[in-house]
Amino acid sequence: MTSAKIVTTREIGLTSTDGPAPAPCKVRWWILRLAELLARLGGRSGKPKGLAVIRMDGIGDMVLFRRSLDHYADVFGVDPADITVIGCRAWAELADGLFEGYTVHAIDEHRFHKKPGYRFQVARWLYGQHFRVVVLDSFFRKPLMADSLMLIAEAEAVVTSVPWLSPKTEKMFAYSLSRATTLVDTGDYPVHETIRHYRFLSAVAGREIAPESVRLSWDGGPSPVTGNEPYVVLNFGSNEYGRRWPLEKYLETARWLLDQGYRAVFSGAKNDTVHSAEIAAALTSDQVIDLIGKTTVPGLMDLLKHASAVLTNDTGPAHLAIALGVPTLVLVGGGHFGSFVPYPDAVCPSTARFLNVEMDCYHCFWGCHLRADEKASFPCVAAIEPSDVQAVLSELLA
């Protein structure tokens, strides 16, 4: 594994000196920063204690990070019980099952980003915790989200990584990164997030910590699908419409699965229920089960865990299924190819497969100029053929 290195903001070209950078001249930044500063009124008591890990990202990012967390106690010299993970409401329901031995404090990331009043409440709580160390190692992150939390904590030690930088965010990141006590460069884009987590830990520890495959231990409960007949989950949705393999190709694959003797279970978010009627009209078999918008996040875990296989777009449930050890095929586009999917061999479980059709415009960061409208599939995703999907599923189901 290529080693990460500890750097300064001057060394990476963000500042001309090694001292704190000036505040950016952005009105929104100042409005939100004022709410954070007001939260400090009245001070705080006691000695600094404990370590806060900031994970203001989605379900998939959480999965890629989770296993590296178990090295934090050793690397930072703290007891696991003194580690608090500050995470998102999106996966808060999984905290008890996946973060046993740690404290998890969930934040509504959308309200924190948009509502100064809620931001003040969060800031008051976080500042009052008086953490001794705060750690933030996300590469793709928003400066007014995770970095704001890092600054609010005002910990004795601030250990963070160099994020993805753009002309739009450089000044805001210069402000936060120049106030870190330890800044780690985990490498240029693209590097898979799992590899970055272990590079980060290796740099802080001063020794090599080998990357590990994703893995989640989930006791949960029975599948929400009743009966003993095997089923395959078709996770056809995604927050970004472009990452969705065309629905008609999912329907074609569902027909093939029915012919192979498997039930086809469609899963998705509540906003995906608009497709339920189309699915029902196209697939009249009683072996097709519509659970779109009908499962909680823990219920989704139970559904995935008991499946014979999972076919999914590049989205959070893809990482959940892979980490649960379920045979999983992920259909991959080229927006930031290699950063999240596909998994590199060093951390890829034997049950995971990825399909993609490479194009010259890969690494567009999903700023696709080739699709017809904002709800159309990206051409690189739409180009994946059902015959290729069926071939890989046959292998996984064998």
State residue 3's pLDDT score.
Answer: 78
The verdict on 311 and 386 lying in the same domain is: yes
Count the domains in the chain: 2
- CA–CA distances in Å: residue 237 to residues 195, 269, 293, 328: 27, 7, 11, 15
Q: Phi then psi for 184, rounded to 5 degrees?
A: -115, 130
- pLDDT grade for 18, boundaries at 50, 70 and 90: confident
pLDDT at 287 over 60: yes
Does residue 223 lie within any of the structural domains? no
Is 0.85 surpassed by the pTM of this model? yes
The verdict on 83 and 12 lying in the same domain is: yes
State residue 1's pLDDT score.
Answer: 57
Residue 224 CA neighbour count, 13 Å, CB half:
20
Does residue 220 lie within any of the structural domains? no
Does residue 266 lie within any of the structural domains? yes
Does residue 160 lie within any of the structural domains? yes
| Mean of per-residue pLDDT scores for the chain | 96
In one-letter notation, the amino acid at residue 346 is A
- CA–CA distances in Å: residue 202 to residues 72, 205, 207, 208, 365: 11, 5, 5, 5, 28
* pLDDT tens digits, 298-352: 999 999 999 999 999 999 999 999 999 999 999 999 999 999 999 999 999 999 9
- CATH code for the domain of 275: 3.40.50.2000
* pLDDT tens digits, 149-207: 999 999 999 999 999 999 999 999 999 999 999 999 999 999 999 999 999 999 999 99
Query: Residues 196, 137: contact at Cβ < 8 Å?
Result: yes
The verdict on 270 and 125 lying in the same domain is: no
The verdict on 261 and 356 lying in the same domain is: yes
Does residue 249 lie within any of the structural domains? yes
pLDDT at 364 over 80: yes
Q: Which domain holds residue 372?
A: 231-397
* Cα–Cα nearest to 86, from 69, 103, 70, 67: 103
State residue 2's pLDDT score.
Answer: 61
Does residue 219 lie within any of the structural domains? no
* pLDDT tens digits, 254-285: 999 999 999 999 999 999 999 999 999 999 99
Place of tokens 């001794």: 132
The verdict on 273 and 357 lying in the same domain is: yes
The verdict on 51 and 132 lying in the same domain is: yes
Domain final position from 205, 240, 261: 205
Does residue 210 lie within any of the structural domains? no
Structure tokens at 57: 């990202």
Domain final position from 205, 220, 241: 205
Does residue 270 lie within any of the structural domains? yes
Domain final position from 167, 189, 205: 205
User: What average pLDDT does the segment 99-104 reach?
Assistant: 97
Return left, alpha or beta for 46; rule: phi > 0 is left, psi -120 to 50 is alpha, else beta: left
In one-letter notation, the amino acid at residue 299 is G
The verdict on 242 and 376 lying in the same domain is: yes
User: What average pLDDT does the segment 210-231 reach?
Assistant: 96
